[in-house]
Amino acid sequence: MQVDFTPFLLSFKLAFVTTLLLFFIALPFAWWLSQTRSKTKPLFEALSALPIVLPPSVLGFYLLVLFSQTSPLGVFLQEHFHISLVFTFWGLVVASMMYSFPFMLQPLQSGFEGLKQEMIEASYVSGKGKLTTLLRVALPNIKPSLLTALIVTFAHTVGEFGVVLMVGGSIPNETKVASVAIYEMVEVMDYDNAHIYSAVMLVISFSVLLGVYVFNHRYKRHIGAFGS
Amino acid sequence: MISAWIEKKVSKEFSLEVEFSIEEGSFVAIAGESGSGKTTLLRVLAGLENAKGELKVGQTLWQSERFFLPTQKREVGFLFQNYALFENMTVEKNLLFVRKDKELAEHLLQTVELQELRKKYPSQLSGGQKQRVALARALMRKPKLLLLDEPLSALDSAMRAKLQNDILRLHKEFNTTTVMVSHDPSEIYRLASKVFVLKKGKIVDEGTPKEVLLKMQGSQKFTFSGEVLEIYKSDVIYVVVVAIAQQIVEVVVSSEEVGKFYVGAKVSVSAKAFGANVELIE
C-alpha cells in the first residue's frame, strides 16, 4: 500500500509559515496590549479573541467572501498583485493566521503581563528604548510563554479543518492538508488510509505537546532551584 | 541646582503638589507615611510618570508645560524596592547592558564587593547582593540624579548598614545628587543632609535630619506599657513592680500616688530623654 505524505508536508509547511509570520505580527501587538493603559484595550482583546469563539466555518465563510473575485479586496489584490487568496496556499496562510492569531497573542501577552513592571522600567531608566527593552529584556524573560505561543500556534494550525476547507478547498499539492485528506478518505470509506493518517497525526500532536510540557517543567525547576 | 514644581493627582483624596529646590551634589531624604506620594514624586522625577509642572536639572530642562524629556534621556539612576534586575542576564551583563564600559563595571563591582559573583544570575543571589548589583547598575550611567525608592526596606539590619555605606561612598565618588525615599529615621540621619516630609502630597516640613526627625518623633521621652505585678512598702516610700515585655521593673511611687495602683493594672512607665540613663547592653 502506498501512502501519500504530501498532505502532511503541506500541513507542516502551512503551520510553519503561519507560525513564523504570526510571531512577528502578534509580538508588537501583545507587547502593546500588556503595556497600554488605554481604555480601548478590551475592544482589541475581544476582537483578537473572536476566532476562539466563532465556528471555523463562519470565519472561513467571511474570508471566502472577502477574498473572492467579486469583493473589492479580491479585485484589488488580483489587479495590482495578481494574487488570488481563494483556493491557494497563500490564501490558506492568511486564513490560518487569522484563525490562530489568539493562540499566538494570548500566551505572549500574559507572559509580558507577568513580568515585573519595574524590570521594564529599569531598562527605560538605563536609557534603552522600547524595541531594545522588548527584544533584550522582556522577550528573554518569558521563554516558557514564548515556547507555548509558538508550539500551540503551530499545533493549532496543523489541526485546522473548517477554515482550511472553506478557504482552500481540497486541491492536491496546493491546499489539501492532512485534516482535509482524512475527511475525504472517510467520505469515500477508505478506512485503511484514514487510520494511518489519523494515527500519524495523533502521535505527532502528542509528542509536540509532551515536549512543551517537559521543557516548561524543567525551566520552572531551574528558576526555582536557587530561590530568592 | 535642581528645581522642581510638580502637580499630579495621586488618588481620589489628594494630589501631589510640591515645589522645592535641591543643591547639586546633596543627599536628600523624603520621609512621610505610606501613601503620602513619596514614590510617585520619585517616579515623576525619573520621568516614569506624567505630571504637570516644571523640572530643571542644572541648565537642562527636563519637563515643562509643553516639554517632556523621556526617561531614556534623563540622566537618572533608579533603585527599586524589589531590585528589578534583568533576570536573563548575569550580574556583569546587567551592568554592561546599561553601557558597554567594562572598566566602569569592574570598578563598581569592586566597590560593592561582588566581583566574584559576576557570572551569577540574579536568581542565585541573596536580597542584599541583588540590591548591590542594582546599585552598581544604577551608577553605570553616571547619573546626575540618583533616585532610591526605599531600597533597603526588605533587608536585615547588617546588610542595611553595609548598603548604606556603599550608597554614601558612591554618592560622593560620582558626585550625584541623590534623593532617597525612606521610612527609617536612623537611615535618614546617617545618609541625608536634608529631609522633606510629605503628607498627603504636600511638603509639610523640611530641614536637616536632626531638626526634622526630633520633631517627627514627638515628645522627647521613652514610654513603655506594662502590668503591675506587686506593690510593697519600703520605709516611707512605695515600690511598684511592673512587667514590661520580658523584663521586671521596680518603680518608686509616693504614698499619695500609690492608692490608684493595684495588682494587674495596666500602666505606662516613662522617662524624659534628658533625665534617662543610657547604659551599654552588650
Mapping DSSP onto H, E and C, the string for chain A reads CCCCCHHHHHHHHHHHHHHHHHHHHHHHHHHHHHHCCCCCHHHHHHHHHHHHHCCHHHHHHHHHHHHCCCCHHHHHHHHHHCCCCCCCHHHHHHHHHHHHHHHHHHHHHHHHHHCCHHHHHHHHHCCCCHHHHHHHHHHHHHHHHHHHHHHHHHHHHHCCCHHHHHHHCCCCCCCCCHHHHHHHHHHCCCHHHHHHHHHHHHHHHHHHHHHHHHHHHHHHHHHHCCCC
Q: For the beta carbon of residue A99, count every other beta carbon within 10 angstroms.
A: 26
Q: Please give the mean pLDDT across all residues of chain B.
A: 87
- Contact: B82, A116; criterion CB under 8 Å: yes
Q: Which residue of B has its CA nearest to A221?
A: B123
User: For testing the chain A interface, which of B79, B87, B131, B179 should be mutated: the one with the most A CBs within 10 Å?
Assistant: B87
Asked if B141 and A126 come within 8 Å (Cβ–Cβ), the reply is: yes
Task: Give this prediction's pTM.
Answer: 0.79
A141 near B88, Cβ under 8 Å? yes
pLDDT exceeds cutoff 90 at B216: no
Mean pLDDT of chain A: 88
Domain ranges of chain A: 6-34+54-224
In this structure, CATH architecture of domain A6-34+54-224? Orthogonal Bundle (1.10)
| Cα Rg of chain B, angstroms | 24
- The domain ranges of chain B are 2-216, 221-275
Mean pLDDT of B87-104: 94
**Three-state secondary-structure class, residue B102:** helix
| pLDDT tops 60 at residue B15 | yes
CA of B155 to nearest chain A CA: how many angstroms apart?
A: 13
Is the separation of the CB atoms in B142 and B94 below 8 Å?
A: no
B220 Cβ contact partners less than 8 Å away, ≥ 6 residues apart:
B214, B272, B273, B274
Question: What is the count of residue pairs from A and B with beta carbons less than 8 Å apart?
Answer: 62
Q: Please report the pLDDT score of residue A25 as a whole number.
A: 96
pLDDT of residue B214: 73
B80/A contact by beta carbon, under 8 A: yes
> In chain B, which among 11-50 make CB contacts under 8 A with chain A?
46, 48
DSSP alpha helix (H) spans, B176-237:
185-191, 209-216
Q: Which of A116, A126, A226 sits opposite B98 (nearest CB)?
A: A126
Average pLDDT over residues B223-232: 83
pLDDT band (50, 70, 90) for residue A228 = very low
What is the CA B198 to chain-centroid distance, rounded?
A: 13
Is residue B17 pLDDT above 50, yes or no? yes
Decide if pLDDT at A225 tops 60. no
For residue A148, what are the contacts with CB-CB under 8 A and spacing of at least 6? A107, A212, A216
Backbone φ and ψ of B99, nearest 5°: -160, 135
Q: In this structure, what is the dihedral angle of CA atoms A68, A69, A71, A74, given to the nearest 10 degrees?
A: 80
Q: Which helix (H) or strand (E) holds B114?
A: none
pLDDT-based confidence at B159, cuts 50/70/90? confident
Q: What is the pLDDT of residue A93?
A: 93
Mean local confidence (pLDDT), B61-80: 91
Which residues in chain A touch residue B139, judged by CB atoms under 8 angstroms apart? none
Q: Which residues contact B181 (CB under 8 A, 6 or more apart)?
A: B29, B30, B38, B39, B42, B148, B149, B150
A139-160 mean pLDDT? 90
Hey, which residues 55-74 in chain B have their CB within 8 Å of chain A? 71-73
Number of Cβ within a 10 Å radius of residue A186: 14
Burial class of residue B277, CB neighbours in 10 A (0-12, 13-18, 19+): exposed
Report whether B210 contacts B183 (CB < 8 A): no
CA angle B261, B262, B267 (to 5 degrees): 55
A227 falls in which pLDDT band (50, 70, 90)? Answer: very low
Q: Tell me the pLDDT band of B274, cut-offs 50, 70 and 90.
A: low
Q: What percent of chain A has pLDDT over 70?
A: 96
Question: In this prediction, what percent of chain B has a pLDDT beyond 70?
Answer: 94
Cβ atoms A18, A93 nearer than 8 A: yes
For residue A128, the chain B residues in CB contact (below 8 A) are: 72, 97
Given a contact cutoff of 8 angstroms between Cβ atoms, the answer to whether A41 and A49 are in contact is no
For helices B157-173 and B127-139, what crossing angle results, to 10°?
10
Residue B140, chain A, CB below 8 Å: the answer is yes
User: How many Å lie between the alpha carbon of B188 and the closest alpha carbon of chain A?
Assistant: 24
Q: Of A177-186, A187-196, B234-243, which gets the smallest average pLDDT?
A: B234-243
pLDDT-based confidence at residue B148 (cuts at 50, 70, 90): very high
Are B87 and A119 in contact (CB < 8 Å)?
A: yes
Cβ contacts (< 8 Å) between A140 and chain B: which residues? 88
Neighbour-count burial of B14, counting CB atoms closer than 10 A to its CB (0-12 exposed, 13-18 middle, 19+ buried): middle
CATH 2.40.50.100 fits B221-275, yes or no: yes
Q: Which residues of B130-145 are buried (b: 16+ CB within 10 A; e: fewer)?
A: bbbbbbbbbbbbebbb
Average pLDDT score over residue span B70-78: 92
Q: Do A60 and A87 contact (CB within 8 A), yes or no?
A: no
Q: Which of B134-148, B187-201, B215-229 holds the top average pLDDT?
A: B134-148
Is there a contact between B87 and A141 if contact means CB atoms under 8 Å apart? yes
Taking CA atoms, B213 is separated from A161, A205, B59, B216, in Å, by 72, 67, 33, 5
Pairing outcome for strands B194-199 and B202-207: antiparallel
Per CB-CB distance under 8 Å, the chain A contacts of B76 are: 125
Measured in angstroms, the CA of B77 and the nearest CA of chain A are apart by 7
Residue B209 touches chain A, beta carbons under 8 Å: no
| pLDDT digit string, tens, across residues A39-96 | 999 999 999 999 989 998 898 899 888 888 888 888 888 888 887 888 889 989 999 9
Nearest residue of chain A to residue B122 (CA atoms)? A228
ipTM exceeding the 0.85 mark: no
Q: Which residues of chain B have a CB within 8 Å of the CB of A127?
A: 72-73, 98-99, 141
> Is there a contact between A128 and B72 if contact means CB atoms under 8 Å apart?
yes
Higher pLDDT, A225 or B218: B218
User: Nearest chain B Cα to A123, which residue?
Assistant: B98
Q: Long-range contacts of range B87-91, CB-CB < 8 Å, 24 or more positions apart?
A: B87/A119, B87/A141, B87/B121, B87/B122, B87/B123, B88/A137, B88/A140, B88/A141, B89/B121, B89/B122, B90/B118, B90/B119, B90/B120, B90/B121, B91/B117, B91/B118, B91/B119, B91/B120, B91/B121, B91/B122, B91/B125, B91/B133
- Which pLDDT value is given to residue B218? 53
- Collect all residues of chain A within an 8 Å Cβ-Cβ radius of residue B73: 127
- Classify domain B2-216 at the CATH superfamily level: P-loop containing nucleotide triphosphate hydrolases (3.40.50.300)
Q: Mark yes or no for CB contact A124/B98 under 8 Å.
A: no
With b meaning 16 or more CB within 10 Å and e meaning fewer, what string describes B43-75?
A: bbbbbbbebbbbbbbeeeebbeeeeebebbebb
pLDDT at A224 over 50: no
Q: Do A226 and B121 touch (CB under 8 A)?
A: yes
Q: Which residues of A touch B98 (CB under 8 A)?
A: 126-127
A129 contact residues in B (CB cutoff 8 A): 72
Q: Which of A119, A125, A136 to mutate to test the interface with B (most CBs of B within 10 A)?
A: A125
Q: Cβ A228–B127 below 8 Å, yes or no?
A: yes
Rounded-to-integer distance, Cα A30 and Cα B123, Å: 26
Distance of alpha carbon A102 from alpha carbon A98, whole angstroms? 8
Segment among A144-148, B97-101, B152-156, B169-173 with least mean pLDDT: B152-156
